[in-house]
Amino acid sequence: MVRRVARVGPYLELSPQKNHQGSTRHTTRASRGRAPKVRDESREQGTVSAVRNSSQIGARIAGGYLAGTGIGAGALTALPSTPEGGLGFVDALFTAASAVTLTGLSVADTSRFSGLGQAIVFLLIAFGAIGVAITTAGLVLLLGRARWSSRQSLNADVSANADQQRSFLLYVLASVATATLVGGLALRVAGMRWWDSFFYALSAFANAGFSTLPDSLTAVSSPAIALISLLVLVGGLGYPVTFELIRRRRDDTEPLSSTTHLTLLATLGLLVTGALVLGSFEWGRDETLGTLPLPRRLAALLALTVMPRSGGFNVTDTGELADGSLLTTIFLMFIGAGPAATGGGIKTTGFAVLVIALIAAGRGRETAHAGRFAISPRLVNHVIAVTLVLAGTVMLVTLVLSLDRSMTVALFDATSAVTTTGLSAGEPATSAPSKIALTLGMLIGRLAPMLLAVRLMGYRKALVRPAEREIIVT
């Protein structure tokens, strides 16, 4: 079949025509007063429906997180969440937003909260973790309904039938409960108290970073640090990835999806690179790892490498890290966790897509390729959009924080908030502008990638394609 493109005004349009053998081919159609091509109304209605569904799901996602933050702030304010009573509204709003977005930053020491206050934070973390799962399931459902055409779905890697959606939701609920129960029992065996062990298990698996101990992990045993790091790592892979890996154990005939393959490769590469770089800076420094015994030093290095993946627990005073370690940690925080994980950042797969697109540009290719498959330009655009939104938000939050701290610490804390990591290189925010900026940064960092993903799922393919224009950019 020969396919030619014709110009119709400022647009390019394809026109079918029969050849001498009776088959259909595409030829040019000039503007000679002919009637315009009739639109496929059913196809157009399908794309409009997908866009409408994406808008509704986006509104529900934002409304759910804002409602959870508001309810949590009200509970921490009205109830005796600390021995002195309820928190102030700004502090309560900050803590609730940090818990719901699974960040872990805090302006009030959670270890000094009352039992009721810690229970409220525990429930808010569970709400945030399950909210990510429900959001992912909603995206899967929308993904199955959105169509490029009546015959081709947006992504063949994801199945959107109702049975699999229910299975996925049940799997997420079961995984959160199992990680909390089994992880809590393991941490109890490792020497932690009952309540602390279960709180840490949920906080680690959900990549929340909240602690019930005054010094986070600095006074925790080495086996407990290793267990918590493992929970952070597994939770940071992403629900779809772990779901596929578990299903694959039952049936290993199907190859891994592109998403799982890229996630595992990127995770392994970032862990090895992070350990080598951070170890080269901190292994012999007395302020951090240099004076620790070898088992403790290895466990601390593992945690230093894993926690920037949105874990958020401290194994040493982050403010004492070398400048090179701070910059490396900022880089790892900005990448974040795996796709549809409880962690934040541009995601390991987003980082992989950017690297693949960079390689394609360096080789002069118009389309980026991952192995034998081409990466959709709209997916590359989506990753670029998420990267720019998060980077812009980090810059704005950094400007506000720099009013009362150094630029390096401000950049570190802003990146930690926007990527919902929870690490801090300085003292907790004390001024109202800093608290508000960090609160907005956490909410934007959690909601913006989700809302952009929803819009991507409801993407409308243009029925006519605009003519391309070259623009000088270098």
pLDDT digits (tens, 9 = 90+) for 393-432: 999 999 999 998 889 999 999 999 999 998 988 777 778 8
Residue 37: inside a domain, yes or no?
no
Question: For residues 416 and 423, what is the distance between their CA atoms, to the nearest angstrom?
Answer: 6
388 shares a domain with 307: yes
**C-alpha–C-alpha distance, residues 124 and 119, integer Å:** 9
User: Could you tell me if residue 354 is inside a domain?
Assistant: yes
One domain, residues 26 and 124: no
Q: What contacts 456, CB < 8 A, 6 or more positions away?
A: 378, 379, 382
pLDDT exceeds 70 at position 463? no
Residue 427: its pLDDT value, please? 77
Mean pLDDT of 218-236: 89
My answer on whether 110 and 244 are in the same domain is yes
Per-residue pLDDT for 372 more than 80?
Answer: no
Whether 471 has a pLDDT exceeding 60, the answer reads yes
- Say whether pLDDT at 16 is over 50: no
Q: What is the pLDDT of residue 216?
A: 80
Cα-Cα end-to-end distance for the chain? 38
Whether residue 417 sits in one domain with residue 281: yes
Average pLDDT over residues 344-360: 92
Mark whether 19 and 67 lie in a shared domain.
no
336: left (phi over 0), alpha (psi -120 to 50) or beta: left
Note whether residue 471 is domain-resident: no
Is the pLDDT confidence value at 80 over 60?
yes
Domains held by the chain: number: 2
Give a yes or no: residue 474 inside a domain.
Answer: no
Task: Judge whether residue 14 has pLDDT over 50.
Answer: no
pLDDT of residue 28: 44
Q: Based on the fold, state whether residues 20 and 168 are members of the same structural domain.
A: no
- Is 113 among the domain residues? yes
Per the model's pLDDT, the better-predicted residue between 366 and 335 turns out to be 335
With respect to residue 151, please indicate whether it lies within any of the assigned structural domains: yes
Buried b / exposed e along 424-441 (16+ C-beta atoms within 10 A): bbbebbeeeebbebbbbb
Please state the rounded mean pLDDT for residues 34-38: 47
pLDDT at position 17 over 50: no
> Is the pLDDT confidence value at 164 over 70?
no
**What's the burial of 15, exposed, middle or buried (CB within 10 Å: 0-12/13-18/19+)?**
middle
- What's the rounded mean pLDDT across residues 94-106? 92
Domain contains 473: no
pTM of the model: 0.82
Same domain, 15 and 143: no
Residues belonging to the chain? 474
In a shared domain, residues 153 and 267 = yes
Per residue in 46-57, pLDDT tens? Answer: 444 555 566 677
User: 18 and 157: one domain?
Assistant: no
232 and 292 inside one domain: yes
- Residue 426 lies in domain: 43-466
Q: Does residue 12 register a pLDDT over 50?
A: no
The answer to whether residues 7 and 124 belong to one domain is no
Classify the phi-psi angles of 364: left when phi > 0, otherwise alpha if psi is within -120 to 50, otherwise beta. left
Which pLDDT value is given to residue 9? 39
Residue % of the chain over a pLDDT of 90: 40
Note whether 22 and 125 are same-domain residues. no
Mean pLDDT score across all residues of the chain: 81
Does residue 292 fall inside a structural domain?
Answer: yes
pLDDT at residue 148 greater than cutoff 50 = no
